[in-house]
Amino acid sequence: MKTGTTYNGLVNDSFIGQTVTLHGWVQKRRSLGNLIFVDLRDREGIVQLVFNQDQPEVLALANTLRNEYVIEVTGLVQARDAAAINPDMKTGKVEVIVSELTILNEAKNLPFEIKDGITTAEETKLKYRYLDLRRPEMQQAIIRRSKITQAAHKYLDNNGFLNIETPNLTRSTPEGARDYLVPSRVYPGSFYALPQSPQVFKQLLMDAGFDRYYQMARCFRDEDLRGDRQPEFTQIDVETSFMSAEEIQTQAEGIIKQVMQDVMGIDVPTPFKRMNWQDAMDRYGSDKPDIRFDLEIQDLTNMMKTSSFKVFSETVNNGNLVRAIVVPGGAEKYSRKKMDEQTDYIKRYGAKGLAWVKVADGELTGPTAKFLKEQTSELLTTLSAKDGDLIMFVADKFQVVCDSLGYLRKHFAHEMA
């Protein structure tokens, strides 16, 4: 086997006139009799190979190629004819005229096509994970992850942080989830726990004088799989001594800036806009708010102290909150059935219910409207609500209100986009 000259996806017009050796997987073969075109794929992309009758033995062998055969080729890079240039490919201006072909491995018929956007069942893709990972979108995701790790290492190394590995086999520590347990061979009946985070170890490192620590820490939590929960995951784990909150925020911004520059080619301006925790919770219902859209949460607690709607006034008199969000133009889109679905959904956050009204001709309509009739004008003014808008209220404890309206805010923003 020869040493490859470069990756297939990197063969561009700078290689024109050069003889190159390439390796990869056959993405597609197109036969025109005395002329065969093959798309050869590797992790960097695809390049077009050309087999012609100038090399009859090579042409005959190329005729046996099928999708996902692994091959090695040597050939001359030449410019494509102007009419054949493919602007959608990185290598679309060139092709390789093959003079040597070696089949390294044949392939059987595949359970699914190696391309992006396939609708194959997840179970099938996971069963043939090695095939699924050949798809360009999967490979690019893993390559991007590698680049993110590189960029984070670079920033932290350049800013005085020490990359220190901590043990994975340790005793159980009080964390927020269940531990994965590993039986000990040396001490029968005893178990190690896999770390949910390196919390204890990094605090020991601070005590020991390693004032800036980091690692790409592998963490394990015996939890049910959810959108924001994984049984095992990797985090950029950092601990510092002698740093203020402002300094820690600056370092975090620096990591993000470095990653975005190195991975995406985007220069993110710093410092970032900042808000305190209370403002984030009050306005967005989350300490990690999405501020790309409005739909801010608005407080009606003082207004509802004397409301004739007992659900609201009693909530306030019990020391809790009444807050609302306005969805512009949402009145027509959302039926009572759809609103009932959202009412059921927010019960998972502990909410007892969801009150809502629609605005039409300067008045409130809907199941809660009759209870708020006396406050219609004040509500519309305070909330800046207009005809066609949908208003939703949650009355409960602080965290319940934040969680419920935080979810509704994102849900309705997504659906109204």
Q: Where on the phi/psi map is residue 309: left (φ > 0), alpha (ψ -120 to 50), or beta?
A: beta
List alpha helices for 1-135, DSSP H. 56-62, 122-127, 129-132
Residue 187, pLDDT > 80, answer yes
Q: Percent of the chain scored above 70 by pLDDT? A: 100
pLDDT at 339: 95
Question: What is the C-alpha separation between 175 and 39, in angstroms, rounded?
Answer: 51
Q: Which residues pair with 364 in a beta bridge?
A: 359
Q: pLDDT (tens digit, 9 = 90+) per residue, 87-125?
A: 989 999 999 999 999 999 999 999 999 999 999 999 999
Q: What is the pTM of this model?
A: 0.79
pLDDT band at 391 (very low <50, low <70, confident <90, very high): very high
The DSSP symbol for 233 reads E
Count the alpha carbons within 13 Å of 226 in the hemisphere toward its beta carbon.
6
User: Which CATH superfamily hosts domain 141-264?
Assistant: Bira Bifunctional Protein; Domain 2 (3.30.930.10)
Beta-carbon count within 10 A of 356 CB: 26
**Domain spans of the chain?**
8-105, 141-264, 280-416
Which residues in 140-154 are b (16+ Cβ under 10 Å) and which e? eeeeeeeebeebbbe
Domain boundaries 8-105, CATH class: mainly beta
193 phi/psi in degrees, rounded to 5: -115, 135
First to last CA, the chain: 54
Strands (E), 19-135: 19-31, 35-42, 45-52, 70-79, 94-105
Q: Percent of the chain scored above 90 by pLDDT? A: 94
Which residues in 58-67 are b (16+ Cβ under 10 Å) and which e? bbebbeebeb
Q: Which fold has domain 280-416?
A: Gyrase A; domain 2 (3.30.1360)
pLDDT band at 29 (very low <50, low <70, confident <90, very high): very high
Residue 228, pLDDT > 80, answer no
- DSSP codes joined into one string, 360-378: ETTEEESTTGGGGGGGHHH
Q: pLDDT (tens digit, 9 = 90+) per residue, 341-384?
A: 999 999 999 999 999 999 999 999 999 999 999 999 999 999 99
Of 227-236, 336-345, 395-404, 406-415, which range is least confident?
227-236
